[in-house]
Amino acid sequence: MTAETVIGAVGRTANAEYRTCQYTGLKVDAAAQALIKANAVAAVVFLLVGGTMGLLVALTRWPAVHLLPAEWFYLVLRTLSKLTAPICG
């Protein structure tokens, strides 16, 4: 199966607009470019949120700092466990 048959199977025309990636040399569909950028931004945002929440939990467990009150600690811990449950199985 070639790329042309897959493109034809989903109803795309042969004159679709592509750009060539300067790093990999692969063809990237111009319509998918915005989705690729949105996915990259969402990934960075969620990594920052998860990292911040993880740091808050770690600092709360450290007795010298004890950053969050007990209610917030368990709320953050429960949220982290729900976010990572699909990843960890």
> pLDDT tens digits for 48-89?
988 998 898 888 888 888 888 888 888 888 888 887 776 665
The pLDDT tens digits of the residues spanning 2-42 come to 555 455 545 555 677 888 889 999 888 888 888 989 999 99
The pLDDT value recorded for residue 48 is: 93
Does the predicted model carry a pTM greater than 0.75? Answer: no
- Show the domain range for 65: 3-88
d(CA 84, CA 88): 6
- DSSP SS3 for 17: coil
pLDDT at site 7? 53
State the greatest distance between any 2 C-alpha atoms of the chain, in Å, as a whole number. Answer: 64
Q: How many domains does the chain have?
A: 1
Looking at residue 68, the DSSP 8-state letter turns out to be S
From the list 64, 63, 80, the residue with the least C-alpha distance to 72 is: 80
Three-state secondary structure call for residue 18? strand
- DSSP H or E stretch at residue 27: strand 27-29
Give the model's pLDDT for residue 45.
94
- The enclosing H or E element of 55 equals helix 33-61
